A and B are shown apart, each in its own frame.
Chain A
Amino acid sequence: LPVLTQPPSASALLGASIKLTCTLSSEHSTYTIEWYRQRPGRSPQYIMKVKSDGSHTKGDGIPDRFMGSSSGADRYLTFSNLQSDDEAEYHCGESHTIDGQVGYVFGTGTKVTVL
C-alpha cells in the first residue's frame, strides 16, 4: 500500500506564509494526492488535488492564497497571509487500485499553529 508521510506539526506567524509537505513512498512518487483541512471539532474539508506535475484543482470556496505544488515524491500545500482560523489539522490522502481493489490512504496529518 502507498504510504504518505507528513510532519506532525508546523507553525508560522499571523500574516506569514506556510508550506506543508506530504511525501509519497518512492514507488508511488507519481501519484496524485488531495489535501483536506480539519478545524478543531469540525469535519474535514476538501482543499485541493495536487498532481505530480504540480498542477492543482481547488475545491469550491477555497481562496487564492492556497496553492499546490510538487517536487519528486513531495506534494506541497502553501498558504499565504496566515489567518487565525487556518489553525487546523491538515491531512493528505490518495486513492489507488491494487489487484482490482480500490482504496484510499491518508497521511498522519500536520497540526498547524498560528503564532
Chain B
Amino acid sequence: QVQLVESGGGVVQPGGSLRLSCAASGFIFSNFGMHWVRQAPGKGLEWVAFIHNDGSNKHHADSVKGRFTISRDNSKNTLYLQMNSLRPEDTALYYCAKDRAATGLEYFQHWGQGTLVIVSS
C-alpha cells in the first residue's frame, strides 16, 4: 500500500533553514505529482507546494514563494522541501501528499503522518 514517511522537522531559529524529506513506497513514484501541505497548531490546512511527476514544473504558495523550494529525486523515491528564511508563522506540521495525477493538480489522494517544524528563538 502507499506509504509516505516524512522526516527532517525540528526546532530552528527565525531566519534559519531546514530540509524536509518524504520517502515514498508502495507505488510508482515517478508517475505522480507530489505536494507539501502544512497545518499550524490548532489551525486548518494550507497547501505549500506541488511538483510534477518528472520534476519539470513546480508551484509554490505565495506565502512561501522565494523562501521554500520543492524538489524530488525519482531514483530515490524521495520528495524534498528546502525551507530558508524561516519565520515563526511557518511553525506547523508538514505533510507530504501524493496527487492522483502526474502533472495536473487534482487532489491529495494519500497523505503521510507529517513532520513538525517549530520556528522559535
Contacts and interface: CB of A to CB of B under 8 A. Distances in A.
Contact of A91 (B44, B59, B105, B110): B44
B19 to A, nearest CB: 21
* A-B residue pairs, 3 tightest by C-beta: A104-B47, A43-B111, A102-B59
A71 interface: no
B114 A43 contact: yes
Contact of A106 (B35, B46, B59, B113): B46
A80 interface: no
B105 A107 contact: no
A16 to B, nearest CB: 26
Interface residues of B, number: 21
B45 interface: yes
A79 B61 CA distance: 32
Nearest to A60: B109
A101 B59 contact: yes
A44 B95 contact: yes
Interface residues on A, range: 20 to 34
A74 interface: no
Contacts of B37: 44
Nearest to B45: A106
A45 interface: yes
B72 to A, nearest CB: 16
Contact of B108 (A36, A105, A107, A109): A36
Tell me if B's interface is mostly helix, strand, loop or mixed.
Answer: strand
A43 B112 CA distance: 7
A36 B35 CA distance: 15
Contacts of B114: 43
B107 A46 contact: yes
B44 A44 contact: no
B113 A43 contact: yes
A38 B95 CA distance: 13
Contact of A34 (B59, B104, B107, B112): B107
Interface in B46-94: 46-47, 50, 59, 61
Contact of B47 (A105, A107, A109): A105
Nearest to B4: A43
Interface string B95-119: 1000000001111111111100000
